[in-house]
Amino acid sequence: MKQVKVAIVGVGFMGWIHYLGYQQCETATLAAFCSRDAKKRAGDWRGIQGNFGPPGDLIDMTGVNAYESLDDLLADKSIDLVDICLPPHLHGEAVSKSLDAGKHVLCEKPLALTSAEAESLNQAAAGRLMVAHILPFFPEYRLLADAVADKRFGKLLGGHFKRVIGPPDWVPDFYDATKVGGPLVDLHVHDAHLIRMLLGMPTQAHSVCRMRDGVPKYVETVFQFADDEIVASATSGVIDQASRGFTHGFDVQFELANVQFESAAFGDGSSAAIPMVIAHSDGRVERPTFDGGDSIAIFAQELDAAARSILSGRIDPALDASVAVDAIKICEMQVPKLV
């Protein structure tokens, strides 16, 4: 099988997670990375830490070229795909340079901190830009997308989507709109992307927000769509209790079924869940089970999808940059307007 040769740009938490993902890929091979840190260029990625997955470690440098600068990496003609895992405020320049060098690009979400910059990047890409929104590759969320596509439960009528975390102390400048973007652009953008994939583009958003440092910290939103049968809402943001690390889930209504799922992780290492339940209109209750549960394997699926998109010439819908641009627009719709 033909392999897509990939280079990672940015050796932080997401760069480490993508590195682990490439070890499980079928169609993508890590061929290079770049970092300004000499220690990391030597293969010592210890000290990397995030909110899931194993901590950083020593990596196998066999067959992997390490570059100090993006310009040096882009001069490597063997690289097919540049995988950008930099902090969000650095995405734009790295994407532009990589596209100008003739490379295919996979950029971690969000594509940019504003929809205007994201739109500009997408227009310049000529079909060579993908955005790494991981949520559609989780099996529970993939089932929703598949059900919309094949109409197994009839028309999708809407739902409620939730994504809440404790204080994100592992992310410097989290509330800085010019660097990370805050909870909407960094966190809620996952569900905004899913809402756009499943339901289309909202026409309006009615939000109430708790603010911090000029950006929404916690948001409740009801969306309106051109189709007035669709009723959808979202809860997203940060609460002050570190003991409740992370919660996400959904309660979705189709014509012929209600689909519910929720998962939470707590500061003491415990977890709680409502495993997926499908309540059918005919009275049946279905509880599907899914293989695995390895988050790295899910990232490997996403990275393989990017490689297959290059090989086939058809971008996977979950990685479509146009949808990623719209996800940022949906986030912007929820920011309070100053009158």
**What's the pLDDT tens digit per position in 241-300?**
999 999 999 999 999 999 999 999 998 989 999 999 999 999 999 999 998 668 899 999
Quote the mean pLDDT of the chain. Answer: 96
Nearest to 254 by CA among 162, 147, 137, 146: 147
Residue 151 has pLDDT above 60, yes or no: yes
More reliable by pLDDT, 172 or 296: 296
Q: DSSP assignment, residue 247?
A: E
CB contact set of 142 (below 8 Å; sequence gap of 6+):
136
How many C-beta atoms lie closer than 10 Å to residue 338's C-beta? 4
pLDDT for 339: 40
| Residue with token string 């996977």 | 316
pLDDT at 221 over 80: yes
- Percent of the chain scored above 70 by pLDDT? 99
Amino acid at 291: D
* pLDDT per position as a tens digit, 23-37: 999 999 999 999 999
pLDDT for 338 beyond 70 = no
Has residue 21 got a pLDDT over 60?
yes
Q: Classify the C-alpha dihedral 222-326-111-247 as positive or negative.
A: positive
Picking from 92, 73, 85, the residue whose alpha carbon sits closest to that of residue 12 is: 85
Angle between helices 115-125 and 321-333 (to 10 degrees): 170
Report pLDDT for 171: 85
Predicted pLDDT at 185: 97
- First-to-last alpha carbon distance for the chain, in angstroms, is 58
Q: What Cα–Cα distance (Å) separates residue 29 from each residue in 49, 70, 91, 253, 300?
A: 24, 19, 22, 40, 11
Q: Determine the pLDDT at residue 170.
A: 80
pLDDT surpasses 80 at 1: no
Token pair 């003739």 is at which residue? 102
How far apart, in whole angstroms, are the C-alpha atoms of residue 209 and residue 329? 17
Residue 55 has a CB neighbour count (10 Å cut-off) of 12
- 148 burial via Cβ count (<10 Å: 0-12, 13-18, 19+): middle
- pLDDT tier at 336 (50, 70, 90 boundaries)? confident
pLDDT in tens, 85-95: 999 999 999 99
pLDDT of residue 292: 64
Report whether pLDDT(335) > 60: yes
C-alpha 317, offset from chain centre: 13
Residue 182, Ramachandran bin (φ over 0: left; ψ between -120 and 50: alpha; else beta): left
Please say if the pLDDT value at position 197 is more than 90: yes
Domains of the chain: 4-132 (3.40.50.720), 136-297+326-333 (3.30.360.10)
Q: What's the whole-model pTM score?
A: 0.95
Whether 51 shows a pLDDT value over 80: the answer reads no
Residue 109 is given by DSSP the state S
